[in-house]
Amino acid sequence: MHDRRIPEWLRHAPAPSVRGFAGLAAMEAIARGILISVFPVAMYEALGDARAVSEVYFLIGTLSLLIGLLVPYLIRFVPRWWVYVTGALTFATGSTLATLPEPGAPVLGLALTTFAVVITFVCFNAYVLDHVARIDLGRFETSRLFSSALGWTAGPWLGTVLHGWWRPAPFLIAACAALVMLTIFLVMRLGNGRLIARRRNPPANPFAYFGRFLAQPRLVTGWIFAVVRSCGWWVYMVYLPIYAVQNGLGSQLGGIALSITNATLFLTPLMLRFMMRRSVRTAVTTGFLMAGALFLLAGTPGSPPALTVALLMAGSVFLILLDVSAGLPFLLAVKPSERTEMSAIYSSFRDVSGILTPGVAWVVLLAAPVSGVFAAGGLGLLATWGLARTLHPRLGQARIAMEGAAKPARPVLMTGSTGPATD
């Protein structure tokens, strides 16, 4: 009788590793990065009006916020792995539908891929907290950012180039990347997460903590920083490609600009060193002041298109500085006993900015060209600069010094960043 043994990997699920989660993040970066500059152009070509594009983004952002709030409750009734699988398949489906010749195809594709990102984001974070030890979170974040860098750096430029060559190409590549991401997830056999003993009381409702949140001005200030810097990224990623098309600079310029911006992510260790040597307040105020001034100058009426693009690209470098620094005021103010609930509230900044930016842009475009959106974004950033000046001069100084002495480049300081490579 032959000794037929069942392979070990079939009898026992392999222990989830940092490398596996980094692979999921890398495939997500490819799927999202190659479409991030294509969708604004495709939407503008389909709708023919920047105001209509803003309306669609506004509606999709509103629905995305509602879905993001519902996913944690859905997981209580539907197995988490089913929710993740559904999200990955929804992304692949949305990308594929966007290739259809119908005018509404890009709108439907954007909606489905946006909802899918929210769904998989919630599940991914839950799996990370289940399987990555706290002492390994720094190594995980480093691995995640490194694995995602190529997708976010080359993706925007490659997406616009492929879109000009054959319109369905970037969407089909994104769909394939989503399916590869799903395959990695299934191979990792994460299941429904780590089993946790049943609690006597139901999970805390984040809405119940809004009172506590509003009663702490430092938390509100930190949340505003997150919303406004995310709005800056929205202006850069959505309205720069539209501006380039309108001014004869080509449909590829937006993707090229975003790829160049993402390449400056490799400068974040230098930015971190600058913040450690000066202060959190200096880094935050510098970021909002310079980004706001450059965006405002880019919105000057009659400015040459090439100069406008150059000013926006320079301003985006300071948005990355805010990605590194502007999340700290909130993180340093959260009480340990309220971290879970306040984190749920804090994470809403992504969806709020996704509603606020197209909403304001729609109003601006009623009376001004697309460059007016850049000026509005600059004014918002400058207003937040005024708020940033109220931060304590020594905020986080001792903690950052201790972190720097132990681990000079610990990327946990970037938690909550919203730049294109981390959002």
SS3 labels along 110-143: HHHHHHHHHHHHHHHHHHHHHHCCHHHHHHHHHH
Question: What is the model's pLDDT at position 421?
Answer: 40
The H-or-E segment that residue 337 falls in is: none
Please name each of the domains of the chain with its CATH number: 15-194 (1.20.1250.20), 209-423 (1.20.1250.20)
Chain segment 279-295, per-residue pLDDT in tens: 888 888 999 999 999 99
Binning pLDDT at 50, 70 and 90, where does residue 86 land? very high
pLDDT at 219: 84
The confidence score (pLDDT) of residue 372 equals 93
How sure is the predictor about 47, in pLDDT bands with cuts at 50, 70 and 90?
confident
Q: Report the candidate in 189, 185, 193, 187 with the shortest Cα–Cα distance to residue 89.
A: 185
pLDDT in tens, 303-320: 899 999 999 999 998 998
* Bigger pLDDT: 152 vs 183: 183
Q: Taking 70 as the threshold, does the pLDDT of residue 136 lie above it?
A: no
User: Would the pLDDT of 423 be above 60?
Assistant: no
pLDDT band at 50 (very low <50, low <70, confident <90, very high): confident
- pTM equals 0.73
- 417 pLDDT band (50/70/90 cuts)? very low
pLDDT in tens, 185-199: 988 877 665 544 344
Cα 251-373-351 angle, rounded to 5 deg: 90
